[in-house]
Amino acid sequence: MKLNYYKKTLNFKKPAGTSRGVLQEKPSWILFFDEEPMLRGECSIIPGLSQDYTNDVQYENKVKWVCETYNAFEKHDQIALLSFLSLELQNYPSILFGIETLIYNLNLSKGIDSFESSFSKGQHGIPINGLIWMGSVDQMITQLEDKIKEGYKIVKLKIGAISFKKELSILKFIREKYAQEIEVRVDANGAYEEPEVKEILNHLKNLGVHSIEQPIAKGNWELMNALCKDRVIPIALDEELIGVTNEHDKKELLSLINPQFIILKPSLHGGIKGCSEWIELAESQGVGWWLTSALESNIGLEMIARFAAHFKPNIAQGLGTGGLFTNNFPSRLFISKGYLFLGDEEK
């Protein structure tokens, strides 16, 4: 079968506020087989964050190269071909994840499910957190209350864009209204500097925050280790993992920083292959982990959910992004009371 692609621009239903700015849309490149156009994989990037993306022309040239390479050798040993592409795409994790997803869906169409689970069979859901985007205090509180009405017991707040005093007021509101009923995670996307970060962590501890993702910018392993060692609140690495591709460097990072958690996004952290390596290394060192989407469409989101469910997670995953776009792909994914399901939604 011949591999092909096209670009799809995903449009947000509402502007998505992050510490890097407000997103109105984002691009993805969709891989498909000419003979089976409904079998698809997604190469999803976030401009300014994805290290494999410089501009559309550069990125699309690599996607085109993958299609040409696959088509030239697809009649040969497919396992060897995929092994070759995995090596060639080490620095293009989003494209690797796209081809992994496509091949997974091809095998699934033949009745082969590499990540079979009670989730993939439609029997059980995966616990997920409700994501609160950055905005004004009123906007964030409205989002929060909507998530709690929908049945979420775990919420994640993006912080670091508005004043910390205002963000504290939101956290205080949660504790005053819901006491300890709601687990709160926060994601700083590296927003804080050394002079302020310890004070911020202490404020978060006092408000019973579960964990903070990437409190400081990536690259300062000494400070990050000190913050993890202090254990004021658990720290999860996210952007810190981007670009770390070989096993030796992964082991070194985990050993030197010794975080409480790592957050894995296949489109940023080496595809399914790279995330599997991270999980194995993390578990061997007693480091917790969870998977999260990186603004993929439903194509990528379903793949991450199937992969996550294979590990039978008890900790909530970050997979509640399926309803973000006005022009998403149809999907059998649905959310009920803070759990993600695959199947026919109950009416």
The two structure tokens encoding residue 205: 């501890």
Strand partners for 42: 30
- Which amino acid appears at position 250 of this protein? K
What is the radius of gyration, based on Cα positions, of the chain?
20
Spell out the residues 6+ positions from residue 259 whose beta carbon is closer than 8 angstroms to its own.
224, 228, 235, 236, 237, 287
Strand partners for 44: 28
Residues 58 and 235: their CA atoms lie apart, in Å, by 35
- Which amino acid appears at position 33 of this protein? F
Residues designated catalytic: 158, 265
202: left (phi over 0), alpha (psi -120 to 50) or beta: alpha
Q: Are 150 and 144 in contact (CB under 8 A)?
A: no
Identify the DSSP state of 237.
E
User: Residue 177's closest CA among 150, 206, 201, 144?
Assistant: 144
φ, ψ (nearest 5 deg) of residue 256: -80, -35
